[in-house]
Amino acid sequence: MTTLTGATDTLTRNALAVLQPGFIGTTAPDWLLRRLGEGLVSVGLFGRNITSPAQLAALTAQLRGAHPEVLVAVDEEGGDVTRLEARAGSSFPGNLALGAVDDTDLTRAVARELGRRLAECGVNLDWAPSADVNSNPDNPVIGVRSFGDAPDLVARHTAAWVEGLQSAGVAACTKHFPGHGDTAVDSHHALPRIDVDLATLAERELVPFRAAIAAGSKCVMSAHILLPALDPAFPGTLSPAVLTGLLRAPESEGGLGFQGLIVTDGMEMRAVAATYGIERGSVLAIAAGADAICVGGGLADEDTVLRLRDALVKAVVDGELPEERLADAADRVRALARWTAEASARGAGAVPPAPEIGLAAARRALRITGAEGYTPPDESPYVAAFAPVANIAVGDETPWGLAAELEGFYPDTATGSWSREQAEAAGTAALVERVLGEAADRRIVAVVRDVHRHPWMADALHALLVARPDTVVVEMGLPQAPPSGALHIATHGAARVCGRAAAEVIAGRATDG
């Protein structure tokens, strides 16, 4: 192991302990196993690392062979953001669907089953749930990942989700503190800014986080957002005022009194990396009060781990980062690792399976307009999917839509996917003519996501409905626009089970869940 002059073995082990890196491949590379033996405690998994439950279980067993108490983290929200089922679509609806049902027992049961499946595969830390209040319906990064736009609703479902997940022995990581719901910028691309006063923050953004902490959330993830009312200089992840002065400070001093693990959002996201770089950003984050550095969504190699380790060691040696702060952060990571190991030893993951709970929840989340007088198609329909650019948190590989689910009822279902680029290149009228030509005399099912945010999509849908009033419309994002079409189905998310539930209605095979 290379070390800087003045560094001790304890210091370098602590620097490794606070990192949560990713890697490439479906088996652990030698360098990762070696670093787990040198002090690394956590590993982050992404869709690229997972092909099946059996493969994932083998991978986590391999990691535990190098470190028995390793924290294996994954970004598994259910709904649109899934890593367990990145290639097939999730078996669980996301937060917006659960918020639409507004049954906390259901939310708790869904999170428990999701946690059971994670634990069965050896994953013990979930970077979820999203506790953001989606107060800005034009938010490009949260949307259906939020339980809704009402703080109290988001709070009670966040608490239920945390309780359900952790009852299965998997640590919850409530995000994105202090709240990413009122942003119009995706922090993967740039630094969002929320200009609200402290009173609004307390009455809106912080309400779900207080509930999560009261429910025992083991972790909280920081957001790369600038809140001038708290800190005009640094984004939340790098701000002592946000992490230490607000999240960690006792309630008697106006804080939230959180004593668990504070994890950063991905440090390679441009909201931080473009200004500070990942090394400087990581030092500032630990100094501000973060305990673990999430990195590896894009940067996933040994060089990244060593660069961050050495930057933290150098900051301590140079007197920029107190050694006690780094040691405290490392101890918090190890404490969580012990909790997950003890939970596993108690058999916390051995909860009764509930394999159909996700589909049942998706069915209950549907909101249907125009069902009276609706007649299912006699022949296979044509699905016109108007596709916006994928949210980076979702990923390009995760499928969405209805065609695959409708094929279970109509094997000859045809489909076409239409983008903004096509609409702008051809013009709305020409695009709709192409849709009508492909559909011919089939019933058209138009699938949209957040149609209120995309003028090109709204224009195309309107023109299509003028030409074919019998079109079925399925909104798989935020249902902000007024219902339209002969039949309108709002699914509150684009998970596979949401598509299945909508397909059942279209085919006249709907059940009570």
- pLDDT tens profile 92-140: 999 999 999 999 999 999 999 999 999 999 999 999 999 999 998 888 7
CA distance 185 to 226: 11
Report whether pLDDT(350) > 80: no
Q: How far is CA 180 from the centre of its chain?
A: 12
The helices-and-strands tally (H runs, E runs) of the chain is 19, 14
Please give the share of the chain, as a percent, with pLDDT higher than 90: 83
Between residues 334 and 1, the one the model is more confident about: 334
Mean pLDDT of the chain: 93
Report whether pLDDT(394) > 50: yes
Please tell me what DSSP assigns to residue 388.
P
Task: Provide the pLDDT for residue 1.
Answer: 42
Contact 108, 163 (CB under 8 A): yes
Res. 269 pLDDT band, cuts 50 70 90: confident
Q: Catalytic site residues?
A: 188, 265
Contacts of 270 (CB under 8 A, 6+ apart): 187, 188, 189, 190, 191
Q: What is the pairing mode between strands 261-263 and 444-448? A: unpaired
Report whether pLDDT(84) > 90: yes
- Which residues are bridge partners to 408 per DSSP? none
- Three-class SS state of 42: strand
CA distance 40 to 63: 11
What single letter denotes the amino acid at residue 262?
A: I
Residue 438 burial by Cβ neighbours in a 10 Å radius (0-12, 13-18, 19+): middle
- pLDDT tens profile 197-224: 999 999 999 999 999 999 999 999 999 9
Res. 297 pLDDT band, cuts 50 70 90: confident
Res. 2 pLDDT band, cuts 50 70 90: very low
Task: Provide the pLDDT for residue 395.
Answer: 56
Torsion angles phi and psi, residue 295, rounded to 5: -150, 145
Task: Provide the pLDDT for residue 5.
Answer: 58
Q: What is the pTM of this model?
A: 0.94
Report whether pLDDT(161) > 90: yes
- Stretch among 43-52, 150-159, 399-408 having the lowest mean pLDDT: 399-408
Please tell me what DSSP assigns to residue 402.
S
Res. 354 pLDDT band, cuts 50 70 90: very high
- pLDDT tens profile 480-492: 999 999 999 999 9
Task: Provide the pLDDT for residue 4.
Answer: 62
Task: Provide the pLDDT for residue 461.
Answer: 97
- Stretch among 160-164, 377-381, 394-398 having the lowest mean pLDDT: 394-398
Alpha helices, DSSP H, located in 22-174 = 30-38, 53-66, 95-101, 104-120, 151-167
- DSSP string over 315-363: HHHTTSS-HHHHHHHHHHHHHHHHHHHHHHHTTTT-PPP-TTHHHHHHH
- Which residues are bridge partners to 474 per DSSP? 447, 489
Res. 267 pLDDT band, cuts 50 70 90: very high
- pLDDT tens profile 42-52: 999 999 999 99
**Mean pLDDT calculated for residue range 132-153:** 92
Q: How far is CA 377 from the centre of its chain?
A: 36
Report whether pLDDT(293) > 90: yes
Contact 289, 243 (CB under 8 A): yes
Contact 95, 145 (CB under 8 A): yes
Res. 8 pLDDT band, cuts 50 70 90: confident
Report whether pLDDT(427) > 90: yes
Task: Provide the pLDDT for residue 299.
Answer: 79
CA distance 23 to 43: 8
Element containing residue 308 per DSSP (H, E): helix 302-317
Res. 271 pLDDT band, cuts 50 70 90: confident
